[in-house]
Amino acid sequence: MRTPKTPRVSTPRLVDRVRTFWQRVSEGRELDDLWSQFVADARSSYGFYGHDVDWEEIQKLSRWRRPLHVAKQFFWALLLKLSPARRMLLLLAFVMMVLSSISIHVGNNAVFEIKFEAVAALVFLLLLSLELADKVTMKRDLEIAREIQTWLVPSQAPEVLGADIAFATRPQNSVAGDYYDAFYPNPEEQERLMVVIADVAGKSVPAALLMATLQASLRTIAGEKAALTDLVARLNRYACAHSLNGLRFTTAVLGEYNPVSRRLVYVNAGHNAPILRRANGGIEILDVGGLPLGIRSDVKYETASLELRPGDALIFFTDGVIEAFNESGEEFGNTRWLNAIHNLPDTNAQQTLLFLMKRVDEFVGATRQSDDITCLVFRSR
């Protein structure tokens, strides 16, 4: 009687299966890319939990005691971010791991060992699955919020006589508190173009909700042909009514541009001052205005005006650009940003934007950022 043969998987077939499995798990990424992503995630998590560590108190300890206290505070930071039920599960898993290393000697030769490793591993896996389910649900909701948010900002720049505009934004999370816009309040009358960039204090969903209300208010007031000073004052009063006593303020730069006269009138409400690079290489800073929106309802805002000439480049940006940092924690800073603007090529707005963002990307590398990054380029031709 013949023994049935065990079916064999051919080597090429096995290699194909392994390759397919690897492609599915890694999504086709190279090892260097995966490692960079892991390093960025690890640094981000370290910063996230590190906020709850009392570093000043730890520095007072002797060097040999510091690692233990750091580990202890990181553990508590992790534990307290879980729900009470999940905290108990995590503690139970740790207890089972500790008990699994205990051996009890009975008599002279008998040894009784407790083995809970498999159960502890299953508890850890259960915790991971619960946290992952929450994250996936939240991510789906954030993606919907992100899709809605993209409706509130222009997908392409409007056509402007004698000029062109380009913009880019990179949310720190799925949704952002940065806002940019360029629109004609009355499309039939293209002699008044509104150019806006704003940054709501905070991040993620709360900031995004306030950004949406700012956009709606701005569009409504601008459509009523209000003068720029009146528009900013009304926006400020609305922001004060919804800023939680100034905690949710908004920095912004609002400008009205007349394509015929090439004159821009602007107000800077506590925002990073836009930089005007003249065609001859000169630099001007747009810093006239007042306090951020939402601080005080009785603020009087000043306006200033300037004329844009062919070849000039006006750069609007949020603080996420200046505060972008590399793997060493060093910020990009004003000096590097000004140097990049000084060295702008003589090209259109889109190429100018790509040039500037590339300078930031080269400095940052794969480091995950802690703030939204937004830039708007207005190029006169």
> Above pLDDT 90, what percent of the chain?
40
Measuring CA to CA, which residue among 197, 111, 222, 172 is closest to residue 367?
172
Q: If you average pLDDT over every residue of the chain, what do you get?
A: 85
Q: Is the dihedral of CA 352, 146, 322, 285 positive or negative?
A: positive
Q: Are 158 and 193 in contact (CB under 8 A)?
A: yes
* Dist. CA 364–CA 330, nearest whole Å: 9
Higher pLDDT, 304 or 39: 304
Confidence at residue 256, expressed as pLDDT on a 0 to 100 scale = 96
Question: Does domain 154-380 match CATH 3.40.50.970?
Answer: no
Average pLDDT over residues 347-374: 90
Average pLDDT over residues 293-316: 94
Higher pLDDT, 372 or 300: 300
Confidence at residue 368, expressed as pLDDT on a 0 to 100 scale = 77
Confidence at residue 282, expressed as pLDDT on a 0 to 100 scale = 93
Residue 6 has pLDDT above 60, yes or no: no
Measuring CA to CA, which residue among 159, 156, 152, 145 is closest to residue 179?
152
Confidence at residue 39, expressed as pLDDT on a 0 to 100 scale = 77
Q: Count CA atoms closer than 13 A to 28's CA, side-chain side.
A: 0
Classify 286 as helix, strand or coil.
coil
Q: Are 376 and 317 in contact (CB under 8 A)?
A: yes
Residue 105 has pLDDT above 90, yes or no: no
> How do residues 135-161 score in pLDDT, each as one tens digit?
877 777 767 777 777 777 888 899 999
What is the chain's length?
381
DSSP letter for each residue of 313-349: EEEEE-HHHHT-B-TT--B-HHHHHHHHHHT--SS-H
Confidence at residue 10, expressed as pLDDT on a 0 to 100 scale = 64
Residue 363 has pLDDT above 80, yes or no: yes
Confidence at residue 112, expressed as pLDDT on a 0 to 100 scale = 59
* Dist. CA 289–CA 190, nearest whole Å: 25
User: Could you state, in order of their start, the residue ranges of all structural domains in the chain?
Assistant: 20-147, 154-380
Higher pLDDT, 164 or 372: 164
Confidence at residue 250, expressed as pLDDT on a 0 to 100 scale = 92
* Dist. CA 98–CA 115, nearest whole Å: 10
> Above pLDDT 70, what percent of the chain?
91
Confidence at residue 4, expressed as pLDDT on a 0 to 100 scale = 56
Confidence at residue 34, expressed as pLDDT on a 0 to 100 scale = 79
Confidence at residue 309, expressed as pLDDT on a 0 to 100 scale = 94
> How do residues 221-262 score in pLDDT, each as one tens digit?
998 888 999 999 999 998 888 777 767 899 999 999 999 999
Residue 111 has pLDDT above 70, yes or no: no
Confidence at residue 3, expressed as pLDDT on a 0 to 100 scale = 56
Alpha helices in the chain (DSSP H): 11-26, 31-50, 55-59, 66-80, 84-99, 117-150, 204-223, 228-241, 319-322, 333-342, 349-364
